[in-house]
Amino acid sequence: MWLWSKGLGRLILPMDIGKAELQAEGETLVVKGVIVAPKVYWDYALSLQKKDLLDCMALLTDQRVVAYLVRERGFGLLGVLLKVAFRFGTSYLWAELKKLARRDRRDEVLV
Amino acid sequence: MRYWSKGLGRRSALHIEWSKGEYEIAVADGREVLAAVMPPHLVRGEPPPPGQQVIVSGQTLPPIVWRYISVLTQKDFEDMLRLAASPESVRFVAHVPGGRRLFLKVTWLLIGFFFRYLWTWALSKVPGLAQARWPGERKAGAVTAPASQAAPATSEPDSVEADIEAESSELA
């Protein structure tokens, strides 16, 4: 991903989101990474709230983006998508089950 | 979302909004788009690869209102998907207040993306629908056949295109 903004000086900054790290900080999900370019080694952070997460997903479903991805990746991306969706769904259910188990244990202790 | 980088110096973070209506989206050559705002020799690091990319542009929200342009390749979208399914992201969704609703919404968007992708891919495989394949680009005039190769004017292609257009807008 490349970002240019009027305020970033005379620079266009390359950001490799694939190498970024995620960190949950309260109600914010922070994507942290490093912009590496000649004479540039800058940390960057993208703070996402719930709404931003949904906006990013909505951007992905834009017809122009979908058409672009189909042309660039063809059928292959569907495999990636299925893998991602499966991992996301099962991990979430696992986290929910763990939450329930913890709550049950707490209730038992209270009783 | 809030963007901060060391390069912003003492300024606070930039507030970039990607909700509908707050940005413009296009599929174009990222190098050309960036060259329009910045001479290529000033680009530090690897410039975008040649060819088309997704360009998302707009203005940051107050207090610092600046125009921005971001160039996204298919790898970035794949990385976004992978990050969304990472353990840290799932932990965030599971523990944030209103997390269940967020999970359902993300799942709904993923399902929508899956079917839209499948549909667009299937359309691209149907012979004779090349003009109707990429509605977004067609509107932008990116896919245009040379006059010498243009199909003779008949009412049939229009009706097929109209059908595809209607189905695409239904999906939208």
Q: A56-92: b or e for each residue (b if 16 or more CB lie within 10 Å)? A: bbbbbbbbbbbbbbbbbbeeebeeebeebbebbbebb
Residue of B nearest to A18 (CA): B79
| Rg of chain B taking only CA atoms, in angstroms | 20
Confirm or reject contact between B71 and chain A (CB < 8 A): yes
A93 Cα to chain B: minimum distance (Å): 9
Its pTM surpasses 0.80? no
Confirm or reject contact between B86 and chain A (CB < 8 A): yes
Mean pLDDT score, A26-36:
89
pLDDT of residue B128: 63
Residue pLDDT, tens place only, B93-125: 988 888 899 999 999 999 999 999 999 998 888
| Position B168 pLDDT exceeds 70 | no
A76 Cα to chain B: minimum distance (Å): 11
Mean pLDDT score of chain B, rounded to an integer?
Answer: 75
Give CA separation, A82 vs A103, B34, B77, B83, B87, in Å.
31, 34, 14, 14, 16
Residues A74 and A76: their CA atoms lie apart, in Å, by: 6
Residue pLDDT, tens place only, B44-58: 777 888 889 999 999
Residue pLDDT, tens place only, B13-36: 888 888 888 889 999 998 888 888
